[in-house]
Every structure is written in structure tokens, then in C-alpha cells.
A and B are shown apart, each in its own frame.
Chain A
């Protein structure tokens, strides 16, 4: 890695074979990650693929002599922003898989045609431009990349830097405002809540606990009522809304059936060989 950095420090117009190799391998990874970001059905998978792409990009930044940016990319993007994404994904529901079926008529075709056209045009534009000469960053990075950047940011781009700082503060405040919910009335005491429950006449005793009479006691497994049907009330509201209840009401019956089947098989095998033969014949049918 350090050798690579050293090589990159003396970057000039040309590129070494090592960098070419690195580009083709990691470039493939980056494109694959981008495609997976788009086409994975679960948001959490998309986020992970995107994180991979970003790490690859960080490596490319380093290869291009942008050491500071490469590190920032890993720390800020992959470390902070992508984790923020993951938080939100967890909040919304990790297991929820999106349907990839298009609902707006013609949207997918239009998107593909536009994307293809746009890509072709971009590539054509780049190919059209005469980008033969590469100055390289050897000169610019002579006093160190971070120092160079700092010199620019705090002199030439100081206003932009300050305004960006203001933007960040504003964004932080905005996020708080958007997600904050003001309590408009006093929170009810336990007494009031219990009185209310009695007045409404529904569910006087505490809600049933999950997993009762079931083989699991995980929070997402509904407790079973005496007749074997799942009790919705025993699962927390958030999971209920997400539809993440695991229904195990039929499992024990299925288990019982399987058990009976197995015992029957065993009994028959011990009874007679002919019976077994005919049975297997039926099974093969």
C-alpha cells in the first residue's frame, strides 16, 4: 500500500502498469457495485453494495493523487453517510423487500432509453474532447496534498468554505426540525390510562405476551390462542405495521403430521417388505 502511495506521489502524465491493472479490476468491482445498488430488492443490500463502490472510489482517489479526499471518502462517506443510510433502513424495515415491478406505464422503457442515450452522449463527449496531455500532480502535491488543499481552501475558496459550513449547520438544524415532534399535551399517567381502558371496555388485562403457546418466544412470533390461531395483539405495533409477524400456528400441526408419517413409515417397514415396496412405488409416482 505504501509502495503504491509512493508511486502515486510521483504521478506524471503516464500511468504505471500497476495502476492500469488496479483500474480494470477495481473498476469492474465499482460498476458491479453500482449495478447491484440499483437492482437489489432489499434496501440494505443496496446500501452495502454502494458502500463497496465508495471504497473502490476512495482507492481511485488515492491513485489519482487525492490523498486527503481518499481518506475523507472512506471516513465520511463510507463511515458516516452510509451508516446513516443503514440507520434509516433499519428504521423503515430491514427485511422489507421492494417489488421491482414497474407501476408507471412506460417509465422503465423511458428510463432505459434516456439512460442509454445519456451514457452514449457522455462517452461520446469525453471521446470527442482532446484529452491527450496529463500534467500530473507532482508539482501541486510537492508540499503535501493536505497542505496544498488547505492553502486553496483557506485562501481562494474561503468564502465557499464558510458558506458550506453554514449550510452544514442549517442542514443539521433542518434535520432536527423535520424529525422532531412537539408534544402538544401532557403525557397521561398510568392511572389515567387504566381508567381510560376500563371506560372504553376493550382489553382490560395487559396485552398478551408474544410466543405464548408457540414454540418460539421471539418478539415477532405471535402467541397462539387456544384454538391455535395467532393472537395479533401479542406482537408489537411496529412489527404489525411492517407485516413482519411470523405465523407459526400451522407449524406444530405440520410437525405432528410429519411425526405421524415417520412413525407410520417405520411401522410399515417393520411389518412387511412387500408393503414397503408398493409404498415406495406410489411415492415414485
Chain B
């Protein structure tokens, strides 16, 4: 088997995640889909690392994980305060700036 299949899998997961972001209204699920996209990227990075025979790809994936953790912390905090004030976790409800 050619390891390039990992890349195809990463592309597939990324696309599924992106579509999920567009389709789902629940902010928490949207967030999960974003995490899915990040993980797909990480898989690609790891595969690239193997492809080129050095560890830089793994380092980038590591940083991605850290940034994702930070993002999740802030994002979930936002969702919580949003839910507190509006009693809803729907991203569509936060459309106050439309005409």
C-alpha cells in the first residue's frame, strides 16, 4: 500500500469536517467539525513527515494541537457565555447584525 492513501483519507476527513461546519447549526457540533478538520491536517502533516524523512511535519502537528487546545478553550467559553445570555447554542441565532 502506498502511504499516500493517508493523504486521501486526510482530504476526505477535512472535506467532511468543512461540510459539517456549513451544515450544522449547533455551535458545539460546529466546533467539533472544526476539530475534525484540524485533525485531518495533522494526519497530513504526519504523513508528510514520513514522506520526507524528517520530523518537522510532526513538530508542526504538535503546534497545531497546542493551538487547537487554546482555540477550544476560548471557543467553548464563548459558547457558554452565549448560551447563558441567549439560552441557545445555535449559530444562526447570533445573526443580530443582519439587516
Q: Which of A50, A104, A122, A179 interacts with B81 by CB under 8 Å?
A: A179
> Within 8 Å CB of A119, what residues of B?
11-12, 15
Judge whether A248 is part of the interface by a CB distance below 8 angstroms.
no
B46 touches A66 (CB 8 A): yes
Q: What string of 1s and 0s marks CB contacts (under 8 Å) between B45-82 and chain A?
A: 01101111111101101110111111111101111110
Q: Are B92 and A72 in contact (CB under 8 A)?
A: no
A: residues with CB less than 8 A from B are: 11, 15, 17, 19-20, 23, 27, 30-31, 34-35, 37-38, 43, 46-47, 50, 53-54, 57, 60-61, 64-66, 68-69, 72-73, 76-77, 80-81, 84-85, 88-89, 91-92, 98, 102-104, 107-108, 110-112, 114-116, 118-119, 122-123, 126, 131, 133-141, 145, 148-149, 152-153, 156-157, 160-161, 164, 167-168, 170-172, 174-176, 178-179, 241
B interface residues, tally (CB under 8 Å): 69
User: With an 8 A cutoff between CB atoms, is B32 at the interface?
Assistant: yes
Q: Are A31 and B6 in contact (CB under 8 A)?
A: no
**Whose C-beta in chain A lies nearest to the C-beta of B27?**
A92
Assess A64 versus B49: contact at CB under 8 Å? Given A118-B18, A149-B62. yes
Judge whether B16 is part of the interface by a CB distance below 8 angstroms: yes
Using known A-B contacts A68-B58, A112-B19, determine if residue A80 contacts B50 with beta carbons closer than 8 Å.
Answer: no
Looking at the assembled complex, report how far the CB atom of A147 sits from the nearest CB atom of chain B, in whole angstroms: 10
Interface pair B24/A38, CB less than 8 Å apart: yes
Contact A164 B33, beta carbon cutoff 8 Å: no
With both chains docked as a complex, state the minimum distance between the C-beta of B40 and any C-beta of chain A, in angstroms: 8
Say what secondary structure dominates the interface of chain A.
Answer: helix
Tell me, rounded to whole Å, the shortest Cβ–Cβ distance linking A144 to chain B.
11
Across the interface, do B74 and A178 meet the contact criterion of CB distance under 8 Å? yes
**Hey, which chain A residues are within 8 Å of B31, CB to CB?**
85
Which chain B positions have C-beta within 8 A of A111? 19, 22-23
Contact A43 B28 (CB under 8 A): yes
28 contacts between A and B (CB under 8 A): A30-B9, A30-B13, A34-B12, A35-B16, A37-B29, A38-B24, A64-B50, A66-B61, A77-B65, A81-B69, A88-B79, A98-B24, A98-B29, A114-B22, A115-B16, A115-B18, A115-B19, A118-B15, A122-B15, A126-B7, A131-B2, A137-B55, A145-B58, A149-B59, A152-B55, A156-B59, A171-B69, A179-B81
